[in-house]
Amino acid sequence: MKVGMLGGGQLSLMLAEAARPLDIEVVFIDPAADACAATAATQIQADYDDPAALDQLARQVDVVTYEFENVPSEAVRILSEDLDVFPAANALATAQDRLFEKNQLVALDIPVPEFRSIDSLHDLRQAVMQLGMPTVLKTRRFGYDGKGQAVIRSEQDIESAWQSIVEAPAILEAFMPFDREVSIIAVRDRQGNHQTYPLSENIHKNGILDQSYSRAEDPAFEQAEKYISKLMDELEYVGVLALELFQVGDKLYANEFAPRVHNSGHWTIEGTICSQFENHMRAVAGLLLGEVKLTGSSLMLNCIGEMPDVRNIKDLPGVAIHDYGKAAREGRKVGHITLTAESDMALGELVGKVQRELG
């Protein structure tokens, strides 16, 4: 079986690596000359909306998926004429636009931070009056890793926030005084069966995910699972879906969802029986889903900007280093390190040791 992929970054790389033991080959489109998935899959180097490249891909694969939500909807439309694309165009279109996304969540009775749609400076001033401060202004489209966002803490911030997002269509959101951030990742197959991974607890630094920790028997799991199941069924979703949530007291508010494998689920490679990457490929290829049970306790540390010096930790039991082979650049996700142990206590000791070594 051959699966076509839009995007050749680290998610695509890990999907292709998970596909190999299933005897699934991956062919991907990516314009970059140094796409990191090229070490595990075949690349068609072209823009995502290049008709010749889309045609070349369509002719050699059985089904298509993607590793990021900013793929041109036109590319998905063209590919959908001859092939199944999973997750389907409706899920992609909803996740690509923060306003559609929020409206979808509201329609399913999933709580979200209060928000307003913003098309002008006038809208923004009015919305700040209604929601109070602090608030977060976010572009409706093309945001990632906290880009396209500005926090408004005082009236002086309003105009500069509007300029900083280049006056693009946006939403304004109440800033949540969250106790913690969590995400829930689930997978649904073509028959509608689904499985939900244990909750991840996430810590962000400068708007970028820094750490994710696997949470066995988390009290928020049941609520989070209800929300993601509703969303998957509503979208008739096929593949892995991730839902990011803020917890305030014992209440969960949805932040956003991603129609793809998610950075907060990278620990599932070592920490569960069947990783998010394998399960995504299984769902897309029409195979049975694998077990999402934990094999122990895990913590994932993102490597941002450049890979740290891992000489002193790489041989420790329970340490898995994932270097995506990307050039160093400020704010760029270049790799991650997963630490696994049989209990939370043993994991705590390993984390301490690794953090001392990494400094």
Ligand X SMILES: Nc1ncnc2c1ncn2[C@@H]1O[C@H](COP(=O)(O)OP(=O)(O)OP(=O)(O)O)[C@@H](O)[C@H]1O
Identify each DSSP E strand in 30-146 by its residue range. Answer: 42-44, 63-66, 84-85, 115-118, 135-139
- The residues in 178-207 that bind Mg ion, with binding defined as CB under 5 A, are none
Stretch that binds ligand X, among 14-22, 50-58, 144-152, 269-277 (CB under 6 A): 144-152
Which stretch, 2-10, 61-69, 138-146, 225-233, contacts ligand X (CB under 6 A)? Answer: 138-146
Q: What's the Cα-to-Cα distance from 180 to each of 173, 204, 248, 251, 266, rounded to whole Å?
A: 18, 10, 7, 11, 19
Map the footprint of ligand X across residues 98-127, applying CB under 6 A: 113
Residue ranges of E strands in 71-161:
84-85, 115-118, 135-139, 149-152
- Per CB under 6 A, contacts with ligand X among 244-303 are 244, 255-256
259 within 8 A of 239, measured Cβ to Cβ: yes
Residues that contact ligand X, how many (by CB under 6 A): 18
Minimum distance between the CB of residue 242 and Mg ion, rounded to whole angstroms? 9
Ranges within 243-272 binding Mg ion (CB under 5 A): 244
259's CB contacts (< 8 A; 6+ apart) are: 69, 87, 91, 92, 95, 237, 239, 241
Contact with ligand X (CB under 6 A) among 58, 123, 126, 146? 146
Give me the least distance between CB of 181 and Mg ion, in Å please.
Answer: 9
Under a CB-based contact definition with an 8 Å cutoff, are residues 343 and 311 in contact?
no
Residue with Cβ nearer ligand X (105 or 176): 176
User: Nearer Cβ to Mg ion, position 71 or 254?
Assistant: 254
> Which parts of 25-44 interact with ligand X (CB under 6 A)?
none
Of 15, 161, 186, 209, the one binding ligand X (CB under 6 A) is 209
Burial per residue of 41-62, b for 16 or more beta-carbon CB atoms within 10 angstroms, e otherwise:
bebbebebebeebbebbbeebe
Considering the rule CB under 6 A, would residue 181 count as an interface residue with ligand X? yes
Least distance (Å) between residue 318 CB and Mg ion: 28
Instruction: Indicate which single residue of 51, 72, 132, 207 sits in contact with ligand X (rule: CB under 6 A).
Output: 207
Q: Which is nearer to ligand X, 157 or 173 (CB)?
A: 173
Instruction: Give yes or no for residue 176 binding ligand X (CB under 6 A).
Output: yes
Cα dist. 158→11, 75, 171, 256 in Å? 36, 36, 13, 23
Quick one: which of 50, 14, 3 has its CA closest to 30?
50
Q: Shortest approach of ligand X to residue 175 CB, angstroms?
A: 4
Residue closest to Mg ion, measured at CB: 244
181 binds, among Mg ion, ligand X, none (CB under 5 to 8 A by kind): ligand X
| Residue at shortest CB range from ligand X | 176
In the complex, the smallest distance separating the C-beta of residue 113 from ligand X, rounded to whole angstroms, is: 5
| Residue of 49, 50, 123, 145 that binds ligand X (CB under 6 A) | 145
- Say if residues 100 and 117 touch (Cβ distance below 8 Å): no
- Nearer Cβ to ligand X (11/44): 11
Least separation in angstroms between residue 276's CB and Mg ion is 16
Who contacts 77 (Cβ-Cβ below 8 Å, separation ≥6)? Answer: 89
Query: Quick one: tokens of 237?
Result: 């979703």
Partner from ligand X, Mg ion, none contacting 281, C-beta within 5 to 8 A by type: none
Q: Which is nearer to ligand X, 242 or 354 (CB)?
A: 242
Task: List the one residue out of 250, 248, 230 whose CA is nearest residue 184.
Answer: 230
> Residue numbers of the site for ligand X (CB under 6 A)?
113, 136, 138, 143-147, 173, 175-176, 181, 204, 207, 209, 244, 255-256
> Residue numbers of the site for Mg ion (CB under 5 A)?
244
